[in-house]
Amino acid sequence: KIMQQRIFTDLDLNFSKHPITKDVAKKIKENAIIGAVRNLLQTNYFERPFNPTLGSNINALLFEPADDVTAIAMAKEIRLLITNFEPRVKIDELQVNADPDNNRFEVTIRFYIINSVKPITISLFLQRLR
């Protein structure tokens, strides 16, 4: 039996133009999943119309002291968020490190897309904007 691999697609939220079709460009495969995970991390509760439970308290935690206690709470929020709202991935490793000198958190997530053996790693900084 031949296993058919799914190809995931999503809109490019920068709304860049496709060079040939002149339509909105698409993100495909890993790029679509990475974009979805990044979007989830930036979504607060009640931001999505008709889906008020989608989101997390990550933004609120950014206004807490940048220490290890907050980093642990943020890691729990991120794990819960991705587990509940992104069924296409399975988290392998999650690290949240506080950077108190810059009042931010460094987040590194390593995950697998379903039916894939290649791990994907996302690293980003989360910090408050106000």
What's the confidence (pLDDT) of residue 5? 61
What's the confidence (pLDDT) of residue 33? 83
What's the confidence (pLDDT) of residue 108? 97
Q: What is the pLDDT of residues 66-97, one digit of tens each?
A: 999 999 999 999 999 999 998 989 999 999 99
What's the confidence (pLDDT) of residue 35? 86
d(CA 99, CA 105): 6
Q: What is the pLDDT of residues 15-70, one digit of tens each?
A: 566 667 766 666 656 777 888 888 899 889 888 888 888 889 999 999 999 999 99
Determine the Cα angle at 106 with ends 86 and 42, to 5°: 40
- 100 φ, ψ to 5°? -65, -25
Which residues contact residue 93 at a Cβ distance below 8 angstroms, ignoring those fewer than 6 apart?
108, 109, 110
Which pTM was predicted? Answer: 0.79
